[in-house]
């Protein structure tokens, strides 16, 4: 079910500029990396002994659920069922660690960008239980498409290490990391520019 959003966030010209940029860049990205996505899917299928694509419902623009697509990096575990992933998580395969480190696992999300589920830059799409619980001015986060990268993603590059050192990873994520991500993403939306989006993308690729 979609969630009503009080603010439109970006102006219509800004939203159109961002969308045109996303369509153009995702088209180029899929054209250039299609072979790598296919190769990673085959490798992940063999590595996890299951479909090499990982799909999951995430909360998108206006609170609508969509299916995110990534390269699978983990095997299922009966002991661990949490959606919070920390450094050293035994569910992550050796090949999966390589895919995560090189960001190859993120490449299928170019399709999500192309079809309009996501943007290159924006708040990361979360599973239900986070973005769909936002209230007041924080609901502004739902006025934009979630992104592959963004200010909060870059700020918390070492999120898995932070969670690994926390006594209660789920509580630390919900009470510390998530509120700070909301703060960073609100600032991003209120001060949006295409130039900043390009800088976030370059920072993600080259750092």
Q: What is the pLDDT of residues 39-85, one digit of tens each?
A: 999 999 999 999 999 999 999 999 999 999 999 998 876 665 565 56
The token pair that represents 61 in the structure block: 């623009």
Q: How many residues does the chain have?
A: 207
Phi, psi at 74, each rounded to 5°? -130, 150
pLDDT surpasses 60 at 189: yes
How many angstroms separate the Cα of 85 from the Cα of each of 17, 92, 118, 190?
34, 9, 22, 30
Averaged pLDDT for residues 2-24: 81
Averaged pLDDT for residues 181-199: 95
Which pLDDT score, from 0 to 100, does residue 89 have? 74
Is residue 117 within 8 Å of residue 145, measured between CB atoms? Answer: yes
- Closest C-alpha among 205, 148, 189 to residue 7: 189
Which pLDDT score, from 0 to 100, does residue 159 have? 85
Which pLDDT score, from 0 to 100, does residue 147 have? 97
Which segments within the chain are labelled E, that is strand? 53-59, 65-71, 119-121, 147-149
pLDDT surpasses 60 at 7: no
Which pLDDT score, from 0 to 100, does residue 164 have? 80
Which pLDDT score, from 0 to 100, does residue 79 have? 67
Averaged pLDDT for residues 125-148: 88
Average pLDDT, the chain: 89
How many angstroms separate the Cα of 102 from the Cα of each of 10, 206, 207?
31, 11, 10
Which pLDDT score, from 0 to 100, does residue 16 have? 96
- More confident site: 92 or 132: 92
User: Any idea which of 35-44, 124-133, 172-181 has the lowest mean pLDDT?
Assistant: 124-133
Q: Give the pTM.
A: 0.86
pLDDT digits 0-9 by tens, 18-29: 999 999 999 999
- Closest C-alpha among 115, 157, 142, 179 to residue 59: 142
């Amino acid at each position: 079910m979609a969630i009503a959003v009080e603010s439109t966030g970006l102006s219509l010209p800004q939203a159109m500029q961002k969308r045109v940029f996303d369509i153009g860049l995702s088209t180029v990205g899929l054209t250039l990396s299609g072979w790598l996505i296919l190769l990673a899917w085959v490798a992940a299928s063999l590595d996890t002994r299951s479909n090499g694509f990982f799909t999951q419902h995430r909360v998108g623009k206006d609170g609508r659920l969509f299916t995110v697509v990534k390269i699978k990096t983990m095997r299922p575990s009966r002991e661990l069922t949490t959606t919070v992933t920390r450094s050293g998580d035994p569910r992550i395969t050796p090949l999966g660690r390589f895919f995560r480190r090189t960001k190859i696992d993120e490449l299928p999300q170019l399709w999500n960008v192309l079809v309009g589920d996501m943007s290159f830059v924006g708040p990361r799409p979360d599973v239900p239980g986070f973005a769909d619980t936002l209230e007041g001015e924080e609901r502004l986060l739902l006025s934009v498409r979630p992104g592959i990268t963004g200010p909060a993603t870059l700020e918390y590059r070492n999120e898995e290490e932070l969670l690994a050192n926390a006594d209660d990873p789920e509580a630390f994520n919900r009470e510390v990391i998530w509120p700070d991500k909301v703060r960073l993403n609100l600032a991003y939306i209120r001060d949006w520019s295409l130039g900043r989006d390009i800088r976030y993308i370059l920072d993600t690729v080259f750092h």
